Chain A
């Protein structure tokens, strides 16, 4: 298996532009997670899906952020409009556990380094 795939690996954009980050989880995994990592705030969970359904989006910073999972093999995280403070590394992770009572290990993708000028 290729592992979790994210694209693009690097994105540089200007303030106000729309940014779309993409993720392909490991085949067969039921859970998909989006994280943001910055020096100041560490690793933050933004949203997670179970069987393509958003379960908890309480970590999404504001309405400028949205995430979708149209099918089991694809998810997007969109920022519109982007702002300089959104600059961070965004990770997607997937997990095969089908019960949230005891999490199985999460497999992280390589991340997308986003720079908003």
Chain B
């Protein structure tokens, strides 16, 4: 069965500092990988996705993520965090068949300090 681990429940970053949110997955092959962001009381917005090809994926809002097969990881990064980035971030995996469901990690809450 596939699973996703986000080891950090919450992270605090100073505004302007860089950010890296960790995501590790367990799956028999290379899955489809996603990062979503959720603001309080809102639904989820897709930041970026990896299906195949270039392992460094660019997303919206200045985010990027790097797929590392050897480490079964898909960490999310941003070079300079803005206060508006404070939110909950979810990593998700899906089977590369095109029609399966997604499995979400437990999420990482990002807090941005002035």
A and B held together in a complex:
no
